[in-house]
Amino acid sequence: MNKEHLKYILIILIPVALSAYTHLWNLLGFPSFHIDEAHYLRRAMLVLNGTGPQESAANGYPRTYDQPYFGQLFVGGILGLTGYPDSISPGVDINSIKTLHLVPRILMGLLAIVDTFILFKIVERRYSITLALIAAIFFAIMPSTWLFRRVYLETILMPFLLTSIFLALYVKEPKNGISPNEKSRYSISKYVLILLSGIFLGLAIYTKIPVITMIPLVGTLVFFYSGKNLRSLGIWLIPVISIPLLWPLYSIVVSQTDLWAYWVLWQVERDRPLSISLANFFSLDPLLVSMGVAGLVFTIIKKDYFPLLWVFPFLIFSYFVGWVQYFHLMLIFPAFCISSAILVGSIQRFIAKYSQVLSYTIVGSVMVFGIVSTTTLITLDVNSDYFKLYTAIAEKIPQANQENEKITLIGSHWWVWDSYWISQYILHKPYAWIDPHLDPKFKDKILTDKVLIVADPIFIDSLSRKINSDNLRQIRNLYNESTVIGTFTDNVTSQTKAYYPYNTLPIMIWNENHPTGKIIIKSNY
């Protein structure tokens, strides 16, 4: 290995090592566990248990067709290869509960490291090794990168999306005249690259439908880099379209097209406009978003539309859909890293004409800000009491074979679902569940003598309201007649917001003045 190869490897290792730190350090402490993680892990457990990727109301959750299948197939398959959960000998103790949460998050961290490497190669191929280094470091260290620590569909699909873009870029011969398609034992046919790019994008769309907004970006690369060859574009489109069609095709086979249409429409009928999520995303990472937007304008001026094609179709789609969470914007986070790198790189080159020291100081200051801010976040512990809460719930739920010991768990879906996938599918401790906030017609659903109530501050507030409702009165009576078996601190929930766990603004909320609440577990047995 010569010095040039060694230098190149060391350059790549810098962002990869930083990414390993920011995405694998203290996974159990930060961030708090989001309800969507519980949904995706529950579905992965269905795959592990051999019941298939399609959820049904019989599994305890009525939203049968709200997402495609590849997310749970991928997570379930990878976890299955590790022997999870049997390989960790799960039990009803806090260490087991922690480990059961840790393993999926390690997988997400490893995917983020892969993302960092692929992003480096994308920018290197499209621009230069210098911009590749800057963009990959931004991806690794800027504050909003903590979102990739959670088990989100965006985290799962990102390596497939980036790989699709990477392969499309390699369809074109490099400027130095060395073709990746030269006839040698190491060559890869142009059409193989195109087909693989389509397969990876198809898998990404099969994970989450909004990835269709990346078709203009990757399709443009394939079309122009193949010499404006319509045949090449057609080959690429075949897997891009056919793989995601497996989702509605299944509903046709099992005669559930009405359910499929209902839940697809339900996804877009909810109300959370793009503007709110953009504001939240800006609050998460104001420096990167500011640089990213400025970088987009700069690239447009330079007539470089690569980052724009990544961001603009997604934002248009999100605007018309009308339901956008801040973490949905993870899809455009790599594009912001690229446009920021282009902007910072251009500023650095301009200033270097007058002062090399000052040019590197500016770049270094941005990176120091990123690593310090992210370190401040990822070293927090916001989950310790949650693990105690989940353990207490698991301990009080009887085994499935104890027919006379069945219970009903009453509580908000924010807390209950995270214990459900562990209790139901790993510890084999099923229970009936009622959320008074989501299911107002629950009066006749309490069919067990024994009830466990998980009461967070918002739940208790609802019980204190003077509403003449038979349902609410029944819950209030059960609550008053039950005994407290555990009290836990909720150090994430804001009592001033009717939304929890309220961790959209991580830099702002963990301070001495942030309100905290108590989560009380009550039992009538």
CA distance 57 to 73: 19
CA distance 313 to 291: 20
Residue that finishes a domain, picked among 347, 378, 409: 378
Give the residue among 188, 174, 183 at the shortest CA–CA distance from 121: 174
Mean pLDDT of 500-513: 35
Q: Do you find a cis peptide bond into 501, omega within 30 degrees of 0? A: yes
Report the pLDDT value the prediction gives residue 337, as an integer from 0 to 100: 97
**Same structural domain for residues 369 and 390?**
no
- The answer to whether 485 and 417 are in contact (CB under 8 A) is no
**Same structural domain for residues 411 and 303?**
no
Four-point Cα dihedral 207, 209, 215, 218, nearest 10:
-20
Q: In three state form, how does the secondary structure of 321-359 look?
A: HCECCHHHHHHHHHHHHHHHHHHHHHHHHHHHCCCHHHH
Whether residue 185 has pLDDT greater than 60: no
Whether residue 512 has pLDDT greater than 50: no
**Same structural domain for residues 296 and 152?**
yes
**Same structural domain for residues 344 and 403?**
no
- The answer to whether 12 and 122 are in contact (CB under 8 A) is no
What DSSP assignment string belongs to 412-441?
Answer: -HHHHHHHHHHHHHTS----EEE-TTT-S-
Report the pLDDT value the prediction gives residue 413, as an integer from 0 to 100: 73
Strand-pair category, 517-523 with 483-490: antiparallel
Residue that finishes a domain, picked among 378, 408, 442: 378
The separation between the first and the last C-alpha atoms of the chain, rounded to the nearest angstrom, is 70
350-408: per-residue pLDDT in tens?
887 788 888 788 888 889 999 999 999 899 888 888 888 888 888 888 776 666 677 88
**Same structural domain for residues 65 and 172?**
yes
**Same structural domain for residues 391 and 374?**
no
Which whole-number Å values give the CA distances from 98 to 9, 176, 422, 456, in the listed order?
36, 52, 11, 21
Query: Structural domain tally of the chain?
Result: 2
**Same structural domain for residues 183 and 101?**
yes
Cross-strand bridge partners of residue 488: 519
Report the pLDDT value the prediction gives residue 362, as an integer from 0 to 100: 82
**Same structural domain for residues 510 and 462?**
yes
The structure tokens listed for 313 are 């179709």
- The answer to whether 455 and 520 are in contact (CB under 8 A) is yes
- The answer to whether 21 and 137 are in contact (CB under 8 A) is no
Q: Which domain holds residue 369?
A: 3-378
Residue that finishes a domain, picked among 362, 378, 394: 378
* Helix boundaries (H) for 272-327: 274-284, 286-301, 306-321
195-221: per-residue pLDDT in tens?
999 999 999 999 999 999 999 999 999
User: Can you tell me whether residue 449 is helix, strand or coil?
Assistant: coil
> Given CA atoms 245, 250, 255, 258 in this order, what sign does their dihedral have?
negative
The structure tokens listed for 437 are 């906030």
Residue with tokens 């917001």: 497
Mean pLDDT of 3-25: 93
Q: Is 295 exposed, middle or buried (0-12, 13-18, 19+ CB in 10 A)?
A: buried
**Same structural domain for residues 284 and 353?**
yes
Q: What is the mean pLDDT of the chain?
A: 84
429-488: per-residue pLDDT in tens?
887 777 765 555 555 566 677 888 888 777 777 777 655 566 677 777 888 888 888 888
Report the pLDDT value the prediction gives residue 485, as an integer from 0 to 100: 84
CA distance 43 to 61: 10
- The answer to whether 517 and 456 are in contact (CB under 8 A) is yes
Give percent of the chain with pLDDT exceeding 70.
85
**Same structural domain for residues 365 and 454?**
no
**Same structural domain for residues 79 and 133?**
yes
Whether residue 233 has pLDDT greater than 80: yes
Whether residue 21 has pLDDT greater than 90: yes
Give 23's pLDDT tier (boundaries 50, 70, 90): very high
Mean pLDDT of 303-325: 92
**Same structural domain for residues 87 and 226?**
yes
Residue 176: HSE in the Cβ half-sphere, 13 Å Cα cutoff: 3
- The answer to whether 293 and 152 are in contact (CB under 8 A) is no
User: Can you tell me whether residue 517 is helix, strand or coil?
Assistant: strand
The overall longest dimension of the chain from CA atoms, in Å, is 81
Report the pLDDT value the prediction gives residue 4, as an integer from 0 to 100: 84
83-135: per-residue pLDDT in tens?
999 898 888 889 999 999 999 999 999 999 999 999 999 999 999 999 999 99
Global pTM reads: 0.88
Number of C-beta neighbours around residue 159 at 10 A = 22
Q: In three state form, how does the secondary structure of 67-122 look?
A: CCCHHHHHHHHHHHHCCCCHHHCCCCCHHHHHHHHHHHHHHHHHHHHHHHHHHHHH
Number of C-beta neighbours around residue 156 at 10 A = 25
Give 344's pLDDT tier (boundaries 50, 70, 90): very high
Mean pLDDT of 303-318: 95
CA distance 74 to 20: 21
Whether residue 60 has pLDDT greater than 90: no
More confident call, 273 vs 371: 371
